[in-house]
Amino acid sequence: MPVNAGAGSCDARFAAAAAQWPDVWCSDGCEDGYDITRYDTSPEALAAYAAFHASRASDPTAKTLVFKPNQYGLGNRLRAMKSALLVAMLTGRVFRTHWHEPYPLDAIVEPEQIDWRTPADGQGEPEAQGVMCLPFATAGHLPSCTWHMQQLQKSDLRVAYAKVHRLEVFVFTDLNIYLAHNPHYEALLRRLGASCPKRMGCLFDFLFAPGPRLRERLDAVLPPLPPGAQPAVPSSAYAEYVAVQVRNRLWRIEAMGQPAFSNTASRVVGCLGRWVPTSAVKVFFTADDDSLRPAAKQLWAGRLIEIQGGVYEHWSRGGKVEREQLADSDEEAVLKAFADWFALRHASLLVWTYGSSFGKTAAAASGAPNIDVNHTRCAEDEATGVPGGSASPSVTNVQYDVSKVPGAKG
């Protein structure tokens, strides 16, 4: 997979940001570097961090935080990346990623406000002095993961990791689950969240935009914006459409525990469809199971739009990917996964599967109304006799079930 040809165009933007540090964003000298607590809103905090990051990106003495995704699917990786950036901002570190499998991240998306790229071979990158992990199965080989979780919950992270020059973050979940109730950050995140809701979902826009190949796939299927028209969703380049996402694995698991629930394709697609307006707008559909597509085509007939391609099974199953396992079709499947995610987040209404990190992160990144649906919500809605009667989509509907997350407050 070649590196994005358009990525080099970011350099001028980064240089302009660097020229603003510290004079524009830190008039009193900033002896301690970037301090997120100086800023009252997320746009201010992000613009200042972009300037700080660009000014220190090539400084070998700058402390860094490197996000390295572990296994599991795209949604888990994206929410972990987003929250790792937040940790970098809280600790005044230069944020980087080391995402090179199954394919390099910068071959798929372009850096937006900060340059998070690192060389594929790690050249110039020293070994991590500290690895932040959580005590879950995928980090079983790492020591002290429980200690790191405790720091996220209770400590001033700048102090806790003061002696660590290069901190590597190796997690798959949203660290906001812990940070939101850390006494050092609770008030700060509540303040910043007023202008960046849904667990700092605006950080996704700050991080990346579709690369050329993704834009090509999106432009081929999503309804174009008429000349001079305003998009229904901020930052979208497309006309109004509804998006529906099925994580059928989760529907099957729920149905196993509740024999009354039928997990037929028509039942699952029909449940989500109860929240889709009957207007003439297009309906974008994506699922982790191709057997659902005929039911979607029948329900939405000429309104249905899809991005063609197969499911990237490694991410769908949440398994670790080794480069020698990759098939010729996997590159297209990975591109489709990213394209589907961007199509979900740019919709004017998103109906997604409850508990799916893929749908959840797309909803968090979106400024449009969204609603999470499962068998239980569908049954409650059917009882009202009114489609979409039990709950209405909202701009802030993103739900985080933390009941099974160790140490989470909820």
DSSP string for 54-67:
HHHTT-TTS-EEEE
Nearest-10 Cα torsion for 343, 348, 350, 351: -130
SS3 242: strand
Helix axes 42-56, 186-193, angle to 10 degrees: 110
Domain boundaries in the chain?
Answer: 5-209, 212-384
pLDDT at position 230 is: 87
β-pairing, 349-353 vs 109-111, is unpaired
Whole-angstrom Cα distance, residue 220 to residue 307?
Answer: 8
SS3 167: strand
Whole-angstrom Cα distance, residue 211 to residue 5?
Answer: 9
pLDDT at position 5 is: 41
pLDDT at position 87 is: 98
| β partners of residue 305 | 284
User: For residue range 321-356, what is the model confidence (pLDDT) as tens digits?
Assistant: 677 778 888 999 999 999 999 999 999 999 999 999
pLDDT at position 327 is: 84
pLDDT at position 191 is: 97
What are the average pLDDT values for consecutive 10-residue runs of the chain, which has 410 residues?
51 92 85 91 97 94 92 90 98 95 93 89 66 85 90 97 95 93 97 94 96 96 91 86 96 89 94 93 96 97 94 80 79 95 97 94 94 92 85 83 64
pLDDT at position 390 is: 81
- CA distances from residue 350 to 61, 119, 151, 177, 273 in whole angstroms, order as listed: 44, 36, 35, 23, 11
pLDDT at position 72 is: 82
Nearest CA to 84 out of 319, 52, 94 is that of 94
CATH class of this structure's domain 212-384:
alpha beta
Residue type, 333: A
Sign of dihedral through CA atoms 80, 137, 108, 297? Answer: negative
- Scan for tokens 């910043």, then name that residue: 192
pLDDT at position 124 is: 58
β-pairing, 166-170 vs 130-133, is parallel
pLDDT at position 7 is: 47
Q: How far is C-alpha 90 from the geometric centre of its chain's CA atoms?
A: 19
Residues 6+ positions from 333 with CB-CB distance below 8 Å: 309, 310, 311, 312, 313
pTM score > 0.85 for this model?
Answer: yes
pLDDT at position 315 is: 84
